[in-house]
Amino acid sequence: MFVNFLYFGLRNGENVYLCQKNYTMHQLSEQEQIRRNCLQKLRDMGINPYPEAEFKVNAKSQEILDTFKPESGLFQDVTLAGRLMARRVMGKASFAELQDSYGRIQLYISRDEICPDENKDLYNEVFKKLLDIGDFIGVSGYAFVTQMGEISIHVKTLTVLSKSLRPLPIVKEKDGVVYDAFSDPEQRYRQRYVDLVVNHGVRDVFVKRAKIIDTMRSFFNSKGYLEVETPILQSIPGGASARPFVTHHNSLDIDLYCRIATELYLKRLIVGGFEGVYEIGKNFRNEGMDKFHNPEFTCMEIYVSYKDYNWMMSFTEQLLETICVAVNGSTETVFEGKTISFKAPFKRITMLDSIKEKTGYDLTDKNEDEIREICHKLNLGHVDETFGKGKMIDEIFGEFCEGTYIQPTFIIDYPVEMSPLCKKHRDNPNLTERFELMVNGKELCNAYSELNDPIDQYERFKEQLRLSEKGDDEAMFIDKDFVRALEYGMPPTSGMGMGIDRLCMIMTGAPSIQDVLFFPQMKPEKKAQKDDISVYVAAGIPQEWAEIMQSLGYLKLADVQNVKFTKLHMELCGFNKKNKLNLVNPKPEEVKSWLNQ
């Protein structure tokens, strides 16, 4: 909306004003109006609420809290900056809490310390009246211990660094119990910036996420493998079975796809002569969203020459054990109330043995029609004629087996129909040398002895084309350039892909993928619908009172007409008085006539 009016309100018993010209924003709440008034008063006092100069910090709150001892002589000239998160004014001296990126620390602020001259406005006006919870300040002083035994900063100088114009949610904590928590998931995910400020522990999840990725990268680099970058916009979305996002390149006038996997480009680099390459980056899949899936997600893929899937299983065990120790200090983590151990070695079982164990059906050597009949016997009613053999086997495993593997378990030797990019098993041509690692009933990573026979690869691509023509919208495209690369020769190679977001969930105990993404994909935020003021005026309501009705939350004429006229009359008169609008209050009969009551 455009705010073009002069607004009068109250703060600490004084008349105050707000004047905002052409400020495009939402309807301002009383607290937001008061903060804008304080903003103007700071400027009137010659204080820039958004200074340009660097503010040099030389200490961190948690470092002081962890290491300060009075006899040490340390932290006697410190400068910190952060948000003002609490304030307890007690005459000429006050206590406050400052929150920086590392924690919270108490401040002791004396009027005569920060205002050594006769002018006491910095304390009496700025600190006591014009600063609000959430404002950024900088302080200098020295560390000491109060009579109550709390490590604090005795402030000698105070600087306003940034004025906040919206009030933070007030989250209270006493004896370890949190009250009035900012806990609504939709609000937390939409306003992660607020979530990070007011909810303890959220920041720690993302610090651990960074540690996970850093440990993974260091592990690969220590082996001599090269981190690379491959295209995100691709002419053919290859490397996985998934529905892609489509976009259009205007200059080339061609459709492009956001990548669903990095596999085919990384294997091109193996063809080019690199021993081992990996990439940690974003993939995009135009599919459903739930607690385990986000359409934009971070994935790691690694490919190493002259290795097979047996080697990759051992390599994966070492990687995950190393990450778990780095992040949690041991080989165990707790997820959804279950203790999960990443101590190597992990259990291994073939896919068909798993299905036989869980369902009683042996799918070995079964053809497509026989497996479809078994699906019907297992009450998988959604399986229809568009499902090929591999997809039906995947449905059976997903329904009856996958969720049962809580501790890390390698599911190995997948049927060839399920793995168009994987090398056939050395002992059984109907299987492939592939594994997936299941943890807490979900796939964590997927790996192959990579297919490097270009003729076999092309035939597998053609089978995927057949499935696509039957209606499978997740079947792979034929990538002829990748086949051409294989024709130049690719050494025996093993590759593995791992979902970083899901790994972070497990390692941090986060219950949803949204909890390990700073800004998860959300449905568009619903905006409150409201009638134009002219609708109220047409119903006989004066424009000035119609605007106040909308300020009170009656956004549609129907909302007004559904309230009792006596209640509305009290609210209008109260708003007029509280905000000193100096309007002539309507009589109850007038309000009644507006509502046709």
Q: Collapsing DSSP states into helix, strand and coil, what is residue 287?
A: coil
Hey, how many other C-beta atoms are within 10 angstroms of the C-beta on 428?
14
The angle, 0 to 180 degrees and rounded to 10, between the axes of the packed helices 454-469 and 480-487 is: 170
Peptide bond into 116 cis (omega under 30): no
Q: What is the pLDDT of residue 2?
A: 35
Helix intervals (H) in 329-419: 351-359, 368-377, 389-400
Q: Are 417 and 411 within 8 A, CB to CB?
A: no
Q: How far apart are CA 35 and CA 102, in angstroms?
A: 27
Rounded to whole angstroms, how far apart are CA atoms 437 and 77? 53
**Region at 440 (left for phi over 0; alpha for psi -120 to 50; beta for the rest):** left
Domain 204-346+407-516 grouped into CATH 3.40.50.2300 = no
Specify the 3-state DSSP secondary structure of 381.
coil
Among 113-122, 517-526, 577-586, top mean pLDDT goes to 113-122
Mean local confidence (pLDDT), 35-48: 96
Q: Is the pLDDT of residue 376 over 70?
A: yes
CA separation, residue 408 to residues 187, 316, 327, 339, 488 (Å): 34, 11, 17, 11, 38
Highest mean pLDDT (candidates 211-215, 239-243, 560-564): 211-215
Strand-pair category, 434-439 with 409-412: antiparallel
Cα-based distances in Å from 255 to 17, 230, 234, 444, 451: 55, 18, 9, 32, 29
Percentage of residues in the chain having pLDDT higher than 70: 93
- Token reading at 484: 């051409």
Q: How confident is the model at residue 92 (pLDDT cuts 50, 70, 90)?
A: very high
Residue 524 pLDDT more than 60? yes
**Domain ranges for the chain:** 2-44, 61-168, 204-346+407-516, 533-594
Q: Return the pLDDT at 46.
A: 97
- Determine contact, residues 304/494, Cβ cutoff 8 Å: yes
Residue 10: pLDDT above 50? no
pLDDT for res 7: 37
The Cβ of residue 476 has, within 10 Å, a number of other Cβ atoms equal to 25
pLDDT digits (tens, 9 = 90+) for 123-138: 999 999 999 999 999 9
Computed over every residue of the chain, the mean pLDDT equals 91
The answer to whether the Cα torsion of 303, 304, 310, 311 is positive or negative is negative
Q: What is the pLDDT, as a whole number, of residue 4?
A: 36
Bridge-based pairing of strands 78-90 and 93-99 is antiparallel
In 3D space, the residue among 310, 269, 413 whose CA is nearest the CA of residue 354 turns out to be 413
Residues in Cβ contact with 489 at an 8 Å cutoff, skipping those fewer than 6 apart: 271, 452
pLDDT grade for 14, boundaries at 50, 70 and 90 = very low
- Average pLDDT of 489-496? 97
What count of other Cβ atoms lies within 10 Å of the Cβ of residue 233? 10
Q: What is the pLDDT of residues 290-313, one digit of tens each?
A: 999 999 999 999 999 999 999 999
The rounded distance, in Å, linking the Cα atoms of 549 and 582 is: 16
Give 432-454 pLDDT, tens digit per residue.
Answer: 999 999 999 999 999 999 999 99
Which tokens hold the place of 50? 């958004």
Rounded average pLDDT over 583-597: 90
Looking at the predicted structure, is the pLDDT value of residue 153 above 90?
yes
What integer pLDDT is reported at residue 346 of this predicted model?
98
pLDDT at 181: 79
Average pLDDT for 30-50: 94
- Alpha-carbon distance of 495 to 448, in angstroms, equals 6
Q: Quote the CATH superfamily of domain 61-168.
A: Nucleic acid-binding proteins (2.40.50.140)
For residues 525-534, average pLDDT: 85
- Evaluate whether 359 touches 398 at the Cβ level (below 8 Å): no
Mean pLDDT of 165-177: 80
Confidence check: pLDDT of 9 > 70? no
Mean predicted confidence (pLDDT) in 407-418:
93
pLDDT surpassing 90 at residue 224? yes
Confidence tier at 29 by pLDDT (50, 70, 90): confident
pLDDT of residue 577: 85
**pTM of the shown model:** 0.83
Structure confidence by residue, pLDDT tens digits, 539-557: 999 999 999 998 888 989 9
> What are the tokens at 175?
């004896």
Which pairs count as long-range contacts for 367-375, CB under 8 Å and 24+ apart, including other chains? 368/392, 371/396
Distances from the Cα of 290 to the Cα of 68, 151, 511, 555, angstroms = 46, 44, 11, 33
Q: Is 582 helix (H, G, I), strand (E, B) or coil?
A: coil
Query: What is the per-residue burial (b if ≥16 Cβ within 10 Å, else e) of 170-199?
Result: ebeeeeeeeeeebeeeeebbbbbebbebbb
Distance of CA 76 to the CA centre of its chain: 39
CA-nearest of 421, 397, 422 to 411 is 397
pLDDT above 90 (res 385): no
Q: Is 582 exposed, middle or buried (0-12, 13-18, 19+ CB in 10 A)?
A: exposed
Q: What is the CA radius of gyration of the chain?
A: 32
Q: What is the pLDDT of residue 3?
A: 36
Assess whether pLDDT exceeds 60 at residue 13.
no
Distance CA 246, CA 524 (A): 20
